[in-house]
Structure 1
Amino acid sequence: MPERVLIPYDGTPLAERALRYACGEFPTSDLTALYVVDKARDDTAASGWGDHPSEWTDWLTERRDHAQELFREADAVAAEYDVELGTGVAIGPVADMVIQVAEEYGMDLIVVGAHGQSALGELLIGSVARSLVRRSPVPVTTVRDSPGDDPTADGGD
């Protein structure tokens, strides 16, 4: 069983599904939810901010506050499983930051949400999950969002 598990967490149902899977499967592991602030993927990021550093600072402060709101929701999920949940915020491209945190903090496993299966049965995973599966130095478990599945019943490398 992995000692340290990292769960990229953005508050979406898919991220919650991955968190529930991790809590259910690894209740004695050190679980950490990671929120990544990525200007390129965030709809609240203004384009062409100009020369005012305070705009960037104010935006980052708002994103960190948003992360704390998400972590309260994640803590509530973890409490349902009676597990402790660590949290962290990183700034940069999502997949890069998840990999960097996994390396720097000695994570044994990454658990990430991935989209369900197509009619042909091929796993369709988002660009972040796909990048993690391809590039991660540690194993990655993907948790699908297939309707009707039990979130603790479907994971894979």
Structure 2
Amino acid sequence: MPSHVLVPYDGSMLAEQALRYVCSEFPTSEVTVLFVVDRGTDETAAAGWGDHPSEWDQWLEERREHAEELFEEATTIADEYDVTVETGVGVGPLVDTIVGATDEYGADLIVVGAHGRPSLEARIFGSVASGLVRRSPVPVTTIRKPVT
């Protein structure tokens, strides 16, 4: 059984399923819910953000506030299982930041949601889940949404 599980969390149904899986399967493990702010993939990052430091700081603060809202949701889910979660925010490219967080938080397992049917973009650029499977220094468990 892992001692510390890292769950990348963006508030999506897949992230929620990953967190529920961790809470039900590893209730005695430490759990860190991680939100990653990635300018390259975040749909709220308009072109040009970061060109001026004040704009970057404002946008980053807004994303951190969004993370706090997501952490409230994640904590509510964990409470259903009587599991306590820690939270963290990383800034940078998704896969790199999540991989780096394994050392930062001492995680020995990553559990991440993975799409059952990859989109064109995922096939071209690779999905976060497949990037983690290829690059993570710790085991990665992927949780797939049932295909309907």
Q: TM-score, normalised by structure 1?
A: 0.85
Match of 1:59 in 2: 59
Name segments (4+ residues, structure 1) moved above 3 Å: none
Match of 1:20 in 2: 20
The answer to whether residue 101 in structure 2 is matched with residue 101 in structure 1 is yes
- Residue 18 of structure 1: CA displacement? 0.3
Between the aligned partners of 2:21 and 2:109, the Cα distance in structure 1 is 13
Match of 2:89 in 1: 89
Match of 1:152 in 2: none
What code does the residue aligned with 2:103 have? E
Q: Retained in 2: the 8 A contact 1:37–1:89?
A: yes
Q: Retained in 1: the 8 A contact 2:50–2:56?
A: no
Between the aligned partners of 2:7 and 2:40, the Cα distance in structure 1 is 21
- Residue 48 of structure 1: CA displacement? 1.8
- Residue 46 of structure 1: CA displacement? 1.8
Q: TM-score, normalised by structure 2?
A: 0.90
Q: Which runs of 5+ in 2 are unaligned?
A: none
Q: Which runs of 5+ in 1 are unaligned?
A: 119-123, 149-157
Match of 1:135 in 2: 135
Match of 1:34 in 2: 34
| Partner SS state of residue 33, structure 1 | strand
| Partner SS state of residue 10, structure 1 | coil
- Residue 52 of structure 1: CA displacement? 2.4
Between the aligned partners of 1:130 and 1:89, the Cα distance in structure 2 is 21
| Partner SS state of residue 44, structure 1 | coil
* Closer, same or farther: CA 50–130 of 1 in aligned 2, 3 Å: closer
In the TM superposition, 1:64-75 aligns within 5 A as 64-75=64-75
Larger % of helix: which?
2
What code does the residue aligned with 2:48 have? G
- Residue 49 of structure 1: CA displacement? 3.6
What code does the residue aligned with 1:7 have? V
* CA distances 1:65-113 after superposition (whole Å, capped 9, x unpaired): 0000000000000000000011000000011000001023221100000
Identical pairs, percent: 63
* CA distances 1:98-156 after superposition (whole Å, capped 9, x unpaired): 000102322110000011269xxxxx9x61000000110000001110158xxxxxxxx
| Partner SS state of residue 43, structure 1 | coil
Say what the alpha-carbon RMSD is for the aligned residues: 1.7
Q: What is the aligned length?
A: 142
